[in-house]
Structure 1
């Protein structure tokens, strides 16, 4: 602050020179009468200097021993410790204990070299200044200083001995210009360092126009670091909820590691809300934030036909542990939990949250060991749908434990001699998973009987595999897998013939009992795969096209599994229903890890991967270095044949692929072709499609394709530190003007035909940004559903940079969130409530 002048000016009680920093010019008119013996300075007092003072000037330094004055002309500079004073002219009067600094006009009459003071990060400028370093009182005219992101201008400033500052005709602004675009005019003010600023009548001036309103007095905190204080609410009106005061409350600066904001909302038609937000951070340890919002939404009046009342809430918690804190363990949290209709009714829902279909949460702890191949994790998980009010199911895992043992080689010799033997490559891995899960409606979440609805189980998985070369170019990979499930209950089904159905006056009902007890359920499979790569090269004599390379990756695998539906395993049972027929079921069909599959399997799986690229020479390349151009990044085919099945041995052929054209056009595609034909009822037969219709290879049951591209102009600026800090501090408010324009386009196509009638879905989405001028920018995002012939969520944002102000216009032209918002506000968060806002609220669409 400018008030730190005391420290620098009290050092002028003694003057010392050293080295070459002093150039002394003696006045030739007084040379003969000048006494060369300067009086010895008195003993050091409380104002004595305790470090050397460096001072210099471009033109001259004059020392008058009679008047005890020193004059520094032209780019005068005085440095003491971390204090620096610059001015075109500095005058030091030792007899009166004062220092005077001022700028002077140049040959054109323009004033140059105005006094500039700096200590550490504190810096200010003034027209002129005079200070008495003994009485510690000073007078400063035309001062400009930065105050925690704002700028304080003062026409006349007096500094008192107790460090208090008195200001007359002052200005406070966040505009960094010497002549600011706006300011709060202070007729008079008193500044108490590291405490507060108290002002008399104050008024707002914009572009030198004084607005016809003001305040009789002002009270502003003036403390470094975070300060507690009142959060001023925003006000407005909505058609359905009435007049409101929103997001007002109190901010608590708890300490250097945490803060807390408590806010509340109130509406004239009965709606209200309360919120809490806290941030916490301990350097090199952890950081995070918690956000909770509760709202009671009342739409309309109780006697109206459209009256609605909803109680909604949402909790968010983010916690991250620094990797340096504990290298072998980690705790993290990402909680996103609340009422499924919160996104529809809450005032504070962002467009991204509104468009989100699901909410997921995870609280996890993981542990690894430096000398053991074991890692452990414990998790609490949550998933819920947020599509609409009717889908209110939640899936909870409380808790879920997992343990993994990385792949070990039990037959590997400790001291290798000669070649590696095939059995040394045999690796074994193990994993275990335990879950305790429940699927409930939101309204049942906090009921006392919820713990009785939890389902639990444990799963063990062991895998052993190896690899070996065959015939030099083939790789054989045999694998054996074993899965064991532990359940603590099972189902018992039977038909009760004595039960009377009152509606139909018939007897009989299926009874399902859940019987508690430990159950061990296992299965195992064996497989072996054989794969290789085949390269093909086609060369050309063309000057541009040099070659085309084709890479094929064939793979053959065989999987076998016994029939776990046999009676000896007791994994499947039967009951006799009322239609005199046996129905097969598994006692473990509701188990979270499923049940072993029934029926033998001897499946031969075939797959073929393709990659096609060409090498071309660019006519602009003088180095004759060929460039690779992808034709197909991937084109894959796969199917399987079940040797032990008595019919329908072939599975559908799956096709996937994708490529990138012209560096910007991305194409992805896929499809499924079923080789078997359908009968007239839509049931699959054991006849191939080409046997029924020779013109068709198979039935296309599904297909998908996506096409996307993005274009942008070259960046016109550089990423400096100020822009990087703004991006991280204000991610939602940061507008990047270094990219004049960019546009992205996505097209998605989906085709499904399980029987006779196909369904086709096509969607288009477009996003774009355009910098109209150096200060104007427009952003548009929209989409279109071709099948439903309707636009998806559409938003238009217009931004205008007004130096220290900014203008934003957001328009959602149609849909449930139809609304607009126009706002002009000060950029700085210090005066964030200095704004003009006009809007229509989307909540009026209810």
Structure 2
């Protein structure tokens, strides 16, 4: 509906019942007479009443048909006018219709729930109660809206109810502009307007102005402005200014500005304000954080600059500087190509100068570097091909002297991995890798390059391309291949030399050819025979001899090309047995207990192809002999010696029961399943061809989730043979002799964990357009660990007040029998620890929490962290303290929750090391 149509007086035949007039009768008779006289007459063009030719018949045109075309354009003498190409120019008709100067170029839609008042003389229309007006991309709602056609101005206001509350405040939406005001005056044609007491949101920022003037669709000027990230009508904090300019979704610039808290101005004035409101990446200065460190001195951490170099590339330079003369610089380029790849590179260099514990010198000085690279390729970019990298390498002393992240000072292991994989139609797989690992305590570095593997998935050479009928048994004969090769060098960064690289260089390869055959099942029993052939290539042999002069074992290395191979034949049978006990009373809540047993027996034979590579060597002054392989210590290890012909057995169980549910009535008869034990069993083997120690150690395991709350995992190794005084095995079963025993448990572990959490007060769902969890850049191992440590060491900043309380408990126990370094016997090592963490809301706005780690072997608390957090609506107060641990810290932080003002915080932190 056009705006002019709004001001036409309505016609209502029911209300304005017409009077009988002779004028209308004469008009009607004259029209009827005209129709009768012209009914039989012809028009300008002759018309033939015959139309016999069918429409689909093609006829030859002998006379050109007359085309209704535009007349030709002629000059003053009446001659047709031609253009530059010689074609005749047609006369273009134009409508000589006058358009009202106060008309609009688009329709206006309006509505109101109460009434509409139309003033024809002044051409004004007024809408009352839930009034709405839409024009192009403009949407205006208010209690009262007045439209003035001559001036094309709309005025929107609210009303005050009997309680003095404002109802129907104007709400204005145009493009990306969204605001609420007490009154709005807007011109449709010029798109300019003035609002009073206006609120508008720009990203995370809420802007208020006593008067705001809109000069175009994006630019605004405000008087008595206020900026804040608090979404309350009376915010907890804000920045006040007299004048400001707002560019929609881009930036805000103001004159002199000062902050206020709870409406109380703070006497800190800034000559001007600049607030970036645009989303996405923007270049700019990165603000530092002030710290006080006993070892490094006073310092500024994190100062730097961020530069956007393009849509796919940016770079960040950050640095730390301390009063004792130490510094660190970090250059971080980042790249990302959507649907192809993304990555990040960290180049760090630091010059450490810290207080020395040595009384002879004042400072310890060290220079170190670190390189980190993470790269991820999108799997959809090149199907069948992938490339990933995670590199963390550098000086072994780097982690020790990082002051900005003390948690990594105790990380003694660094790893790197670069991998490329290629798949050919799921038949062939190639993998090439490179990597390294280094121990920052021993300063040993191992570099692996290149490593690789080539795999041929099982193929069936006797299988027909087209299946016809039941396949023959030999058609299920499958053959595969798995080949691996490795290269490695080792060196100490404190004594690096080319000779050391040559002496420590190792390489090796391993090939495995499995042959499988699936035979038809014999009822419930499945039969699967198999043959496996393996071959390993070595670059050196190790010979260990007893040195009576030093009473130690000396090791010599013989370099060359050596091979070893092994072969085995097997036949396995497996089945499943089910048992149910349901003889419970009618009133019992337990309806049935079900037990499933899955036994598996495998008969195998392995000839002794590697006995020639084993030898006996004296290991102590008593003359004790121990068997060694010449390939022990190589990259792929040594094959086992001896001939094996026996049985391997596995017995797996699970236990569950059905109980009558008091709450769940959706299942049949209100019965639900409860898992008692997810799995428990044992595995072992017996070698009929061995001259001693025929029975292997028995492996026991158990896993369960009790009441769907308590997770339990346990395993143990049972040795069925006796030992001598020094702990060495003797060929005598544990249950032989006078006493009865099943054997000795030589190693085992048990882990129990559970967590209890109250129900959430309210569950907030993240809109799909705000969920950024799956589109982040890859993180290096150090960055991931730093993030985990930051959450662990600063839990107050991550407190969730929506969960009133939570408790997490875990306990672990492990023990093992290990051979002593001097080969004099065995010793038992026991480790056990308990982890406890939890938090609870003291009040709806205060949360207290703690976490601790207790080591039973050391009989001490290894670490204790406590936190106190205060919810301040748009701000948050966090206090974190670690009074017990390898490093002790204390920090207090008050910061806004908004990411836009994340650097506007008050922070006081302190940490120191303990020996």
Q: Is the 8 A contact 2:656 2:675 kept in 1?
A: yes
d(CA) in 2 for partners of 1:73, 1:615:
65
Q: Is the 8 A contact 2:542 2:632 kept in 1?
A: no
CA 1:634 to 1:91, structure 2 compared with 1: closer, same or farther past 3 Å? closer
- The equivalent of 2:473 in structure 1 is 422
d(CA) in 2 for partners of 1:726, 1:735:
20
Q: Deviations over 1:358-396 (max 9, x none)?
A: 4433222222223x61122222233344xxx52333333
Q: Deviations over 1:86-145 (max 9, x none)?
A: 233334445455443333323433333333211234301222233456676543322221
Match of 1:711 among 756, 764, 769: 756
d(CA) in 2 for partners of 1:23, 1:519:
104
- The equivalent of 1:658 in structure 2 is 703
Match of 1:807 among 857, 877, 889: 877
CA 1:275 to 1:509, structure 2 compared with 1: closer, same or farther past 3 Å? closer
- The equivalent of 2:34 in structure 1 is none
1:818 equivalent in alignment to 2:888: yes
- The equivalent of 1:433 in structure 2 is 484
- The equivalent of 1:143 in structure 2 is 198
Match of 2:830 among 738, 741, 760: 760
Match of 1:328 among 378, 384, 401: 384
- The equivalent of 1:127 in structure 2 is 182
d(CA) in 2 for partners of 1:584, 1:650:
19
1:15 equivalent in alignment to 2:3: yes
Q: Is the 8 A contact 1:248 1:265 kept in 2?
A: yes
Q: Is the 8 A contact 1:496 1:511 kept in 2?
A: no
CA 1:748 to 1:363, structure 2 compared with 1: closer, same or farther past 3 Å? same
Q: Is the 8 A contact 1:23 1:60 kept in 2?
A: no
Q: Is the 8 A contact 2:546 2:617 kept in 1?
A: no
CA 1:354 to 1:511, structure 2 compared with 1: closer, same or farther past 3 Å? closer
The 5 A counterparts of 1:379-390 are: 379-385=433-439, 389-390=440-441
Q: Is the 8 A contact 1:535 1:551 kept in 2?
A: yes
Q: Deviations over 1:504-529 (max 9, x none)?
A: 8x9x997945544x544332222222
- The equivalent of 2:713 in structure 1 is 668
CA 1:752 to 1:630, structure 2 compared with 1: closer, same or farther past 3 Å? same
The 5 A counterparts of 1:630-649 are: 630-649=675-694
The 5 A counterparts of 1:395-544 are: 395-443=446-494, 450=501, 453-469=504-520, 471-487=522-538, 489-491=539-541, 512=556, 514-516=558-560, 518-543=561-586, 544=588
- The equivalent of 2:602 in structure 1 is 557
d(CA) in 2 for partners of 1:692, 1:496:
36
CA 1:749 to 1:496, structure 2 compared with 1: closer, same or farther past 3 Å? closer
CA 1:722 to 1:473, structure 2 compared with 1: closer, same or farther past 3 Å? closer
1:687 equivalent in alignment to 2:732: yes
1:590 shift after superposition? 4.8
1:207 shift after superposition? 0.2
Moved more, 90-99 or 141-150: 90-99
d(CA) in 2 for partners of 1:357, 1:104:
70
SS in 2 for 1:146: strand
CA 1:736 to 1:121, structure 2 compared with 1: closer, same or farther past 3 Å? farther
1:182 shift after superposition? 0.8
RMSD: 4.0
Q: Is the 8 A contact 2:400 2:410 kept in 1?
A: no
Match of 1:117 among 153, 163, 172: 172
TM-score by length of 2: 0.78
CA 1:806 to 1:16, structure 2 compared with 1: closer, same or farther past 3 Å? farther
d(CA) in 2 for partners of 1:705, 1:124:
61
1:263 shift after superposition? 1.0
SS in 2 for 1:114: coil
d(CA) in 2 for partners of 1:123, 1:358:
53
- The equivalent of 1:36 in structure 2 is none
Q: Deviations over 1:753-808 (max 9, x none)?
A: 56786443321111223234333333322121122111133222332221111112
d(CA) in 1 for partners of 2:556, 2:657:
64
CA 1:681 to 1:614, structure 2 compared with 1: closer, same or farther past 3 Å? same
- The equivalent of 2:766 in structure 1 is 721
- The equivalent of 1:678 in structure 2 is 723
CA 1:84 to 1:519, structure 2 compared with 1: closer, same or farther past 3 Å? same
d(CA) in 2 for partners of 1:657, 1:509:
41
CA 1:724 to 1:299, structure 2 compared with 1: closer, same or farther past 3 Å? farther
CA 1:25 to 1:116, structure 2 compared with 1: closer, same or farther past 3 Å? farther
1:104 equivalent in alignment to 2:159: yes
Match of 2:417 among 337, 359, 362: 362
SS in 2 for 1:74: strand
CA 1:681 to 1:96, structure 2 compared with 1: closer, same or farther past 3 Å? closer
Q: Deviations over 1:788-836 (max 9, x none)?
A: 1111332223322211111122121211221121111111121122222
SS in 2 for 1:704: strand
d(CA) in 2 for partners of 1:509, 1:666:
46
SS in 1 for 2:893: strand
Q: Is the 8 A contact 1:250 1:261 kept in 2?
A: yes
1:150 shift after superposition? 0.5
- The equivalent of 2:660 in structure 1 is 617
1:601 equivalent in alignment to 2:589: no
Q: Is the 8 A contact 2:615 2:628 kept in 1?
A: yes
The 5 A counterparts of 1:4-43 are: 15-17=3-5, 43=99
d(CA) in 1 for partners of 2:646, 2:446:
35
Q: Deviations over 1:202-231 (max 9, x none)?
A: 111000111122212233445554321111
1:241 shift after superposition? 1.6
The 5 A counterparts of 1:732-747 are: 735-747=799-811
CA 1:310 to 1:48, structure 2 compared with 1: closer, same or farther past 3 Å? farther
- The equivalent of 1:4 in structure 2 is none
TM-score by length of 1: 0.84
d(CA) in 1 for partners of 2:281, 2:241:
24
Q: Is the 8 A contact 1:23 1:56 kept in 2?
A: no
- The equivalent of 1:263 in structure 2 is 318
Q: Is the 8 A contact 2:177 2:218 kept in 1?
A: no
- The equivalent of 1:377 in structure 2 is 431
d(CA) in 2 for partners of 1:318, 1:73:
62
d(CA) in 1 for partners of 2:145, 2:418:
64
SS in 1 for 2:863: coil
Q: Is the 8 A contact 1:444 1:450 kept in 2?
A: no
Q: Is the 8 A contact 2:3 2:149 kept in 1?
A: no
CA 1:80 to 1:510, structure 2 compared with 1: closer, same or farther past 3 Å? same
CA 1:339 to 1:41, structure 2 compared with 1: closer, same or farther past 3 Å? farther
d(CA) in 2 for partners of 1:547, 1:67:
87
d(CA) in 1 for partners of 2:866, 2:8:
65
CA 1:49 to 1:753, structure 2 compared with 1: closer, same or farther past 3 Å? same
d(CA) in 2 for partners of 1:718, 1:363:
41
Q: Is the 8 A contact 1:641 1:649 kept in 2?
A: yes
Q: Is the 8 A contact 1:24 1:60 kept in 2?
A: no
- The equivalent of 1:394 in structure 2 is 445
d(CA) in 2 for partners of 1:485, 1:129:
84
1:173 shift after superposition? 0.8
d(CA) in 2 for partners of 1:734, 1:384:
33
SS in 2 for 1:764: strand
Match of 2:228 among 151, 173, 176: 173
Q: Is the 8 A contact 1:461 1:481 kept in 2?
A: yes
CA 1:219 to 1:645, structure 2 compared with 1: closer, same or farther past 3 Å? same
Q: Is the 8 A contact 1:137 1:160 kept in 2?
A: yes
Q: Is the 8 A contact 1:493 1:575 kept in 2?
A: no
- The equivalent of 2:38 in structure 1 is none
